């Protein structure tokens, strides 16, 4: 397994455990001082991975387009996410990593278009994109941890 993908499993596994004790209402609640919620951040990690890796390479996402559109960058929570959709998000958190590795080894990312992230990181190819993902997931893991603390006060 690629080291960056292996690293991504850790925070995603941690997040699944971290949110287990919260109700679906709490996961959907936008805590004071935030502009999104826990579910949005978790699903955004998945959607952003699709954009960073697949769309930037001129490929279709491996997740449903509606899910991608709801959680891509520059979006915000627009609806109540029920338990069934939460289960789908949890499954996709790991399926998308497995699929990314499979597609990486299949060499489908040859048409990757270089770009610069909003954080000033230049990404020139799929290898650099995959190495960027732990930073992005870590950022949103931090938001989720802060939102959970705010909800449990």
Tens of pLDDT, residues 60-98 = 999 999 999 999 999 999 999 999 999 999 999 999 999
- Nearest-angstrom CA–CA distance, 39 and 24: 9
pTM of the model: 0.96
Fold of 3-151: 1.20.120
Where along the chain do its domains lie?
3-151
Res 31: pLDDT:
97
E strands of 12-134, at which residues?
115-116, 122-123
Name the percent of the chain lying above pLDDT 90. 97
Residue 37 to residues 48, 57, 72, 79, Cα–Cα distance (Å): 16, 29, 14, 11
Burial class (CB in 10 A: 0-12, 13-18, 19+), 48: buried
């Amino acid at each position: 397994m690629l080291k960056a993908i292996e690293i991504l499993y850790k925070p995603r596994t941690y997040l699944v455990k971290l949110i287990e004790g919260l109700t679906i209402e709490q996961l959907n609640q936008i805590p004071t001082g935030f502009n999104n919620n826990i579910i949005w951040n978790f699903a955004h990690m998945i959607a952003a991975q699709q954009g960073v890796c697949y769309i930037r390479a001129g490929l279709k996402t491996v997740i449903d387009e509606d899910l991608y559109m709801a959680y891509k960058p520059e979006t915000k929570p627009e609806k109540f996410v029920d338990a069934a959709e939460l289960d789908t998000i949890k499954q996709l958190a790991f399926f998308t990593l497995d699929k990314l590795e499979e597609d990486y080894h299949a060499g489908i990312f040859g048409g990757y278009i270089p770009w610069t992230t909003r954080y000033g990181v230049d990404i020139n190819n799929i290898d650099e994109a995959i190495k960027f993902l732990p930073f992005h997931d870590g950022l949103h893991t931090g938001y989720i941890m802060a939102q959970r603390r705010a909800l449990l006060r």
